[in-house]
Chains A and B, each alone.
Chain A
């Protein structure tokens, strides 16, 4: 296994850890952090493929992912603060009225 394969395996493992965290944790802030973990694993995969192929496309895509992450966190934090003010709790079980 060369270093690129090691890093892609790392990205897969990070994505799985983030996915497990999103589903098993009950704290809203930690769930958002686990989403960031999953996004980070995607950035890692793009950068590894860019470095392996010796092209800029993957690294440019990582830059656009950072912009998407910045937008995501701005909206997510506003929603989290709104939900917590409404329910008075960071516990996801308090948001039982959410559909889906």
Chain B
């Protein structure tokens, strides 16, 4: 199926751009690689028929979070010691620690593969309509209204915290 091929391609792109974020020297180039990585993930979400989250990924992550980060990079002078010496001296133990979850979960996936029940894809449970905006809206108004209100409080706390840090600076 074409969507499976696209998922494989965008998945490979996501991994390549994630690696570029870690290895690129200039923070601005790393930020651009992260934007490309997030766009690849949005494409994967769209291939999975979860269009609402794909749209949120572009609007919130690429449109808001990354633009904010790019502004911060432009605001700060990045020519310092971290440019000449990119990696800390704990690089080797860090890579070993990061490899542990990959090996453990990889082993789990291999064990899981034969025993897993066949997937109940979204198509069987209502197709793209299941993850449509109307389905999301109804779920948020009926099931998740309390979580939604709590999320708005969290946003206010975030704004107040950022303001408090800036006030501390002055």
Task: Give the B-binding residues of A (Cβ under 8 A).
Answer: 1-10, 12-21, 23-30, 32-34, 36-37, 40, 43-44, 47-48, 50-56, 59-60, 62-64, 66-75, 77-82, 84-85, 88-94
Contacts and interface: CB of A to CB of B under 8 A. Distances in A.
B76 interface: yes
B144 A29 contact: no
Interface string B112-129: 110010011110111000
5 contacts: A30-B22, A40-B37, A70-B64, A70-B155, A81-B72
The majority secondary structure among interface residues of chain B is helix
B95 interface: yes
A26 B112 CA distance: 37
B90 A24 contact: yes
Interface string B73-97: 1011110111101111011001101
Given A14-B18, A37-B21, A90-B82, A74 B162 contact: yes
Contacts of B44: 7, 44
A96 to B, nearest CB: 12
A64 B148 CA distance: 8
A24 B65 CA distance: 23
Nearest to B49: A51
Interface size band for B: 35 or more
A36 B51 CA distance: 21
A87 to B, nearest CB: 9
A77 B69 contact: yes
B124 to A, nearest CB: 6
Given A10-B15, A34-B21, A54-B130, A60 B139 contact: yes
Interface in B115-166: 116, 119-122, 124-126, 130-131, 135-136, 139-140, 143-144, 147, 151, 154-155, 157-159, 161-162, 165-166
A59 B72 CA distance: 30
B2 to A, nearest CB: 12
| 5 interchain residue pairs of minimum CB distance | A54-B125, A71-B158, A23-B94, A20-B98, A78-B165
Nearest to B54: A47
A69 B125 CA distance: 30
A1 to B, nearest CB: 6
Contacts of A5: 109, 112-113, 116
Contact of A62 (B19, B53, B65, B112): B53
B22 A24 contact: yes
